[in-house]
Structure formats: C-alpha cells, structure tokens
Structure 1
Amino acid sequence: SASSPQILGAANASPSLIAALRRMKAGSNPEAPVFHSFVGGMRVLVDALATSLNGSITTGVGVDALDRLPGGSVQVALSNGEVIAASAVILACPAPAAAGLTTQWPEASADLASIPLVSVTLVALAYPAGTVQVPVELSGFVVPRNAELKITACSYGMQKWPHLGGDVDLLRVSVGHGRDQETPALPDEALLAVILADLETAIGITAAPSDVRISRWDRAFPQYVVGHTERLGHIEGQLNLDGVFLAGMGYRGIGIPACIDQGRSAGVDAILHVLEHR
C-alpha cells in the first residue's frame, strides 16, 4: 500500500486487477504527456511554495532536538541556540534524521531507525547531438534484475525533456539497488567504466561522453519491506498524540506526487491537533 497505492486501489475496486488497471488507463487522456516537470528544475516548485507562504522560513539552521511539552506541544531546539515552543511539528526529513530527533519517543525512534535504506548513484552524460541513436518515441529504459548489467535505468534526457536537447544528447544513468550496493560505491573512474560498458551493451553507444556529472545519494532511498505500513502505524500512534507528524519519501511513497500528498495530509493532521489542544 505504501509503494504502489494505485495498484492497491485497483485491486480493491474489482475482482480482476488487470481489468481495473485497464479501466484506469482508459480514463486517462492519451494526448497528455507521460512526464511533467519544470523547465527551470524542481527549484521552481520550492520557490513558488516559499513565495506563497505567509509565515517565516529560516534556512541554514538545523534542528538539534525535540522535547515533549505538557498539553500536546513540542519544544524545538535549533542549532543556532534558539528554542521554539511549537503547537505541532511536521518532520519532513529522511527516516534516520527523524529517528535522531524523536528519542523522547524511544519505540518510534527505534522503528524509524530500522527502515532500510540503500545508496544510489546517478550519472549524467553529455554527447554531441546525434551521437545517441535510439528510437525517438522512447524516453529511456529500465533494467530487469536478472539482466547481466549493473545499471538499473537510463533516461534519454533530450527526448524525455525536449528543452534539454539542442546541441547535446543527454543520458542519465542510475546504479544501485537493495542487492547491489557495491556498484554505486565504486570510485568515479571505475564507476564510469562500468556504465559505459553497460551502455554499449544496451544501446550500442561506443563514443566517449563530452561531459560527465556524478551524483551520489548515500543511504537515501528507503526500502518498503513487508510490514512497512504496520510499522508506520506504530510510529505515528506514538508521535501524533504529542503533535509530531511525518511526511517524506521514507513513509508512503518516494515519488514527488506521493510526497506532496503526504505533506498535505500531515498539514491537515497538524492543524486538527492544534485545534483539539487549544
């Protein structure tokens, strides 16, 4: 339910999962783009949110600790020495960070710390335009676990996001999953050699890239193991009573839409908590 809520919804809506999924597809707009983003990058969304908020935003300051206060409130200790008495707190941070901040709720903290995480490395490669010869209707490919490749996916940036095309062909390659944490940890030169060999196997490209950017995301991707939803219920059952709420990719979906939904839900829950404890 956390990793694929759409599939769960389809399964609950019909005796036939396949039939329910087909109905969902039939109800979508066939002319709509498959992917959506901002020409200026995801910062456009963040900046728009910041502009629309009526409250104050403090950047460059960490949270050192949360402490319970009487009446369902929380004391927030900031890294700059400031202390805030909050009616409610939303922790929109990775599960390990949330675990470190919730030691006043030891069982919840332990459960948060036990959510498995894997490391993933993303590698962007630029080539002169026309170097990458792939079908124009494709935006990339994913790699099954039983394939003899180390890469897990490759996006054709110049076709997935046309505004990124022009005089370059752009590829973005992912490596790393729950059963392969060695490849994303390779040094840059060795990692690039593995990726180029896999790209030659997968799409036949032998040219050297003109530019490369490697982005390492250490222990950044949560793994939703069996019992994850029940674990979340246990965590939230302890934290929510004291006005602490969770949102983020560690909990109920790692995609941007799922995280937005979680933020909205946590915001509503926080408001209701404040109203109940006036």
Structure 2
Amino acid sequence: MNKLRGKTALVTGSSRGIGRATAVGLAREGALIAVHYAHNEQAAQETVALIEKDGGRAFTVGAELGVPGDIDQLFSGLEAGLKQHTGRTTLDILVNNAGETSTGTAPEEVSAEEFDKTFAVNAKAPFFITQRALPLIPDGGRVINISSGLTRVANPSQIVYSMSKGAIEQLTLNLARHLAPRGINVNTVIPGITDNGHAIFKVPEVREQMSQLSAFKRLGEPDEVADAIVFLATDEARWITGAALDASGGSLLG
C-alpha cells in the first residue's frame, strides 16, 4: 500500500472494466485518480465512489475521444481537477486504456467510417493524449498503453481493431526510446479475453467457448489485468521500459 502516495494518474476509459479496476488499484496505492469517461458520467461517478469507499481520492473528467476538440476538452477538465486537488497540474502516470471495440467485420465489408473511428479512438487519441501530457509528466513518470492479445493472432473479422492496437505497441516502443533520457518508463499491457461486464459474457455457451482460449480455462477478471498495470506504475518496475507485458492468462501460448 501507498507505493504511489503523492502521485497523480489519468486512466482513460475508467468508468468500467479494466479501466475501472486500474483506477481503483492505483488509488489503493495512494494515487489521486482522474477517472475519464466518454458518455456515462454516472458510471464514472461509481468508480469514484468505489475509490473513496477505500479511502482514496478521485475526480471525473468527461471527453468523447476520436472527435474534434477531444484532447482540448480532456485536458481542460484534467488540469482543472488536478489544480483543485493538488494545487498544480503534474501528472505522474498516464494509462491509455480507452478503446473502440469491434463486434467483428469481414475485411471485405469494413467501411471507411468504421476504420477511421477505430483508429481515431485506439491510435490517434492515445498519441495526442500522450503528446499533450508530456509537459505535465515529470522525469520518472509512467506511460502505460493497453493493447490486445489480438495483435498476436490472426482473426480476420477483427483486422481493423488489431491493426489499431498494433499501432499502440509501436507508440510504446518509440516513446520508450524517446523518453528514456527523462527516466519516463513506457510500457504496454496485453490483456486476453476479460469479463468486463458486457452482456455477451452472461451467455453460458459464449462464456465457455471464450474460456477455452486461456491456459487456465477461464475468463480473465478486470482486476487481474489491473494488477499488472499497477505494477508497471510503481517503482518496482523502474527497470522495465518498451516492454509488452502479457496479461492474457496464457491465451497466447498456442
């Protein structure tokens, strides 16, 4: 506990799932959390309530990503919240978690609109969020990007999503090299299929089929991925940068 005492963190897409679990986990270690949401403010407030119930501190920041003005809106709320709670705008930890998911589209049927939207949220937004955050991140800070196990296997119906997540991993590699002189660690976490509360995970047949992809023959839980993210945010991970940490429960073992 308190490994991140006095630190501040922004977790994009933290109103549910892995993002929410990450926000709660970072807060348990003492960090002040900016809980970002795109549309569901109530869900973001629920994340804040969970954090405060444990004695932590958090505030919400609303901004739809992948649309004009998204970065300005996000950082206007972020900097105001940081200033209110700490008196300054320092951001120690950035977790690029928010993503546009896909229900699956055959390569022949992918529209330009779907392609652009997916890349706008999954690749363009993290790039420009990180770019905007860099003046706020002190030397020794952390940037953690969330990818997907789909970057390691062929699933043609998820081609656009996996391409966008591949871009995130390149963001990690290049920024890890670029920011090393400042002591800023940049890493990727690769989740497998994780039960984020979506209705599809309540269908027994689908749940059983998905469970078989893990070496442990079960679905991952959000906090299991979040624990890996929290680890990378702590000083214990100070010698790790440019890495892709597999948190898929062995789903990529083959």
Q: Identify, as 1 or 2, the structure richer in helix.
A: 2
Q: Identify, as 1 or 2, the structure richer in strand.
A: 1
- Please tell me whether Structure 1 or Structure 2 has the larger radius of gyration of its CA atoms: 1
Structure of higher RCO (CA pairs closer than 8 Å, 6+ residues apart): 1
Q: Shared fold (TM-score greater than 0.5)?
A: no
Compute the TM-score of the two structures, normalised by the length of structure 1.
0.27
